[in-house]
Structure 1
Amino acid sequence: MSPRRPAPTGRQVLVMSRYDIRHPHAGDAERYLYEITRHWVAAGTEVTWVTPGAPDAPTAQTLDGIRLYRAGPLGTVARLARDGGRFDVVLDATGGSTDGLPRGAGRSVPVIEVLHRVPRQPAGRLGRFLAGRRSRTERARVALSPSARHDLRRRHRLQGPIFVVPPGTPAPTRAGGERAAVPTIVVDVDLVAEERVDLLLGALPAVAAALPGLRVEILGTGPDRDRLRRLTGDARLAGTVTLHGRATDDDRDRWWRRAWLTVSTADGGGCGSRLLTAAAYGVPSVVLATSGARDFVRAGRTGQVAESCDQLPATLTGYLTDLRDEEVADRAAETCRSWAGRFTWERSAALLAGVVEHEIRVAGSDLARRRSARSDIATLVRLPEGGSVPAGSLRPTDEVVAADGQVSVLLNGCDEVDAVGVLARLGITGARLRLAGHDDLLAGPHPLPPALAGPSHRRPLAYDRG
């Protein structure tokens, strides 16, 4: 069987973002980069992470083998160029501010834009002009879910290859702690405007009136904290909502073990990691039907989806009422843990490593770029019993999973006709294949267990089929 590529071993990777994992404002985007790159470093990749300076932080630091430089992009790359620093690829998580930067580091290298959150508004004409044609048509991008990719296609009209690399989550846990005695919502969130926490606060008076004793514990900090604190001063929320500020890992662990439910009102797809972390603790979710968020909830099994803000109070009240029943709560918790178990940081690191290796290989190749422009198409292959895939025979972006005696393969950039050709080249006969769907792209090619199988809550994605 062809093993999953765990890391771009032997490569030198430059990561650029607004913050690093130690910054006071670091959030889910930084956690995503950190978890993936620390797996890479452990497997032999050299990773340099560049951010602007941070108060009271050293300019240079090594963390878990990752070299951190906090001197701003231009100053850092100039320093690295003087020291002979050369990179094989750039991961741009800054929102596209690295145009032209690779050449400043010594030579032209592939740039992969990591879009942890889909911008709420498309770039205007001036922004598209400044980004340049290459950024719109050639640069590879990474989205965290199929609906986020669809949003980038439809709303932002991005034309280049966009690969889906979902976040991971800690191993599901059962040990220790008891659920709170009263309905308790725990929200671990970056307090920024894009998270739209004010929508949750606006829904809570009706929920609190229907469920006396309701507690809402909000963990996290950010520039929106003062405004949200004023909103919690509403007399109807007295004794209901607490803004705890930045939480330690121990704090989060304690609150997740007490939680009945978590909520996301975000738009733009950056909340997947938090929803999966809650699920790993057996905590279901209520989300608005927005891109990204709805991908990570199995409606009716690991949570509920409110179609609009107007429906949010009734959805929260109804679901919390259902969760008063211990059997319902236990069943939801078990299903949540099963769902979270499909998402690991090892898989995330391997998927992004495949994208990195692919982009390095195809740099400058018109044929390869033409094929990768079909990144939204994928074919799922189930090999016959005893079947295997020769090592090194597939593209770096393909995914092979062997579990329960079944080998499943996700061939990215291939329709059924292409897949037949791939199987013929490998000498594989008797395989079953079909176009990959939403769940295959998100959770991997291995079949979901019965408790999770079946349609999830999602709107049709026009780009599922290319």
Structure 2
Amino acid sequence: MTILIFNWRDITHPYAGGAEVYLHEMARRWVKRGHIVGWLCAGYNKARKQETIDGIRIMRTGGEFGVYLFAALHYLLRLRSKYDVVIDAENGIPFFTPLYVSVPKLLLIHHIHREVFFKELRFPLSWVAYFLESKLMPLMYRKIRCVTVSKSSKDQIKELRLGGDQIAIIHNGVDSTKYVPGRKSPHPLIVYIGRLRGYKSIDVLIYAMREITKRVPEVELVIGGSGPKQEAWERLTKKLELDQKVKFYGYVAEREKIEIFQKAWVFVNPSFIEGWGVTSIEANACGTPVIASNVPGLRDSVQDGKTGFLFEYGNVDGLVGKLVEILKDEALRTKLGKNGLNWARNFSWDKSADEGLEVLEKIFRR
């Protein structure tokens, strides 16, 4: 089977995140099973137009927003007769492939963005994106099979009347050969790893650190990842006189990310919304408990009171309370860490790849 992926970015993009990891991990396994996989996405500074990564043919065209037009043109002019099935990955807005792709299509949605648009985009782009996702997408994709990553996302998709009863949940996986427990830091270490975008709400964690340092003086916070809000949050850290306690690592490669998870006493994700929160499971696989916002996606990947804790989104005092509880109670940390490790064993990329391939084969043979 030949499979073409339309996705905003590829795994090498400076702002690649969980959405890119999700597709890449499955796609490279499909290649190993003998399938041909292509990937249409946006270019970025100094990126090659084409290259092959893990057997996946990466084709870059257009920029951050232009990719939606140029990907359609690229497909029509060069790829129309070369692929059996198409995966249309919605990262805020889809590629509207029903307008120009005649082969079977699968719509992939990690989560519905709606409110995120108003946090990330300026007027009028925010309203244009809202209209495209909430009004036009349901009209265009009402008969297209849909895949998502969590029950929360499935419920959101149903609200838009997408997918009908044909919404499959395929969870994120974790590589249990790489993400394993390691030696913990000798001093209390809180970590966040992920993109630094507004809706990730890292400012909530930074404000929490102002109080945490008073109650756990030896604590340190490491923030790994890059994004458009990094400079603003670095300024906030200095304003709160926390620059000796909060360290911004910028982009971290996978090996370094694993080492950070292994050393961490607790991983925190204060995001406004997620599809699932793959970093929660990665942290758990390293024996690290997770504290996360009680929001769609994160309430699916974090078992409250078992693998970590949930707190009310944006509630700094609530986050402080949970952090202090974990940092000061070694027995609790150990218990949550062991539970998280067992929880993470339920998820693997091999399993996810098999489930994804099963869905693709069904729509191909339909």
- The two structures have a TM-score, normalised by structure 2, of 0.86
CA contact (8 A) 1:153 1:159 kept: yes
2: CA distance between counterparts of 1:345 and 1:205?
A: 38
Is 1:313 paired with 2:320? yes
2: CA distance between counterparts of 1:219 and 1:127?
A: 30
Which residue of structure 2 lines up, in the alignment, with residue 89 of structure 1?
86
1:325-364 deviation line (CA, Å, top 9, x unaligned): 2x443333222211111100011111212222222334xx
Q: What amino acid is aligned across from residue 68 of structure 1 in structure 2?
A: I
1:135-167 deviation line (CA, Å, top 9, x unaligned): 2x222222211122123334x454533211110
Which residue of structure 2 lines up, in the alignment, with residue 99 of structure 1?
96
Q: What amino acid is aligned across from residue 364 of structure 2 in structure 1?
A: I
CA contact (8 A) 2:76 2:100 kept: no
1: CA distance between counterparts of 2:335 and 2:172?
A: 24
Which residue of structure 1 lines up, in the alignment, with residue 124 of structure 2?
none
The Cα shift of 1:219 comes to: 0.4
SS in 2 for 1:318: helix
CA contact (8 A) 1:145 1:269 kept: no
1:83-142 deviation line (CA, Å, top 9, x unaligned): x423323333444442246735xxx1222221223314397557655436242x222222
Cα distance change, pair 312–152 in 1 and its aligned pair in 2 (3 A): farther
SS in 2 for 1:237: coil
Give the total of aligned pairs.
343
Cα distance change, pair 125–81 in 1 and its aligned pair in 2 (3 A): closer
2: CA distance between counterparts of 1:228 and 1:129?
A: 34
Single out whichever of 71-80 and 253-262 deviates more from structure 2. 71-80
2: CA distance between counterparts of 1:254 and 1:67?
A: 30
CA contact (8 A) 1:118 1:268 kept: no
2: CA distance between counterparts of 1:86 and 1:48?
A: 8
Cα distance change, pair 38–109 in 1 and its aligned pair in 2 (3 A): same
SS in 1 for 2:100: helix
Which residue of structure 2 lines up, in the alignment, with residue 148 of structure 1?
153
CA contact (8 A) 1:215 1:241 kept: yes
Q: 2:34 aligns with which of 19, 41, 44?
A: 44
Map of 1:294-443 to 2, 5 A cutoff? 294-310=299-315, 311-322=318-329, 325=330, 327-362=331-366
Is 1:112 paired with 2:106? yes
1:7-41 deviation line (CA, Å, top 9, x unaligned): xxxx1111011111111211111111100100111
Q: What amino acid is aligned across from residue 355 of structure 2 in structure 1?
A: L
Q: 1:133 aligns with which of 131, 139, 145?
A: 139
2: CA distance between counterparts of 1:293 and 1:128?
A: 22
Is 1:18 paired with 2:8? yes
1: CA distance between counterparts of 2:139 and 2:213?
A: 51
CA contact (8 A) 1:288 1:308 kept: yes
Q: What amino acid is aligned across from residue 150 of structure 1 in structure 2?
A: D
CA contact (8 A) 1:173 1:280 kept: no
Which residue of structure 2 lines up, in the alignment, with residue 199 of structure 1?
204
Q: 1:27 aligns with which of 2, 17, 25?
A: 17
Q: What amino acid is aligned across from residue 109 of structure 1 in structure 2?
A: V
SS in 1 for 2:43: coil
Cα distance change, pair 210–194 in 1 and its aligned pair in 2 (3 A): same
Which residue of structure 1 lines up, in the alignment, with residue 74 of structure 2?
76
SS in 2 for 1:232: helix
Cα distance change, pair 285–43 in 1 and its aligned pair in 2 (3 A): same
Cα distance change, pair 335–79 in 1 and its aligned pair in 2 (3 A): same
The Cα shift of 1:173 comes to: 6.5
2: CA distance between counterparts of 1:357 and 1:102?
A: 22
Name stretches of at least 5 consecutive residues in structure 1 with no aligned partner.
1-10, 363-466
CA contact (8 A) 1:189 1:221 kept: yes
Indicate the RMSD between aligned Cα atoms, in angstroms: 2.4
1: CA distance between counterparts of 2:256 and 2:3?
A: 33
2: CA distance between counterparts of 1:133 and 1:165?
A: 24
The Cα shift of 1:183 comes to: 1.2
CA contact (8 A) 1:90 1:102 kept: no
The Cα shift of 1:282 comes to: 0.3
Structure 1 or 2, whichever has the larger Rg, is: 1
Identity among equivalent pairs (%): 27
Is 1:289 paired with 2:294? yes
CA contact (8 A) 1:279 1:337 kept: yes
1: CA distance between counterparts of 2:222 and 2:358?
A: 39
Which residue of structure 2 lines up, in the alignment, with residue 423 of structure 1?
none
The Cα shift of 1:214 comes to: 1.0
- The two structures have a TM-score, normalised by structure 1, of 0.68
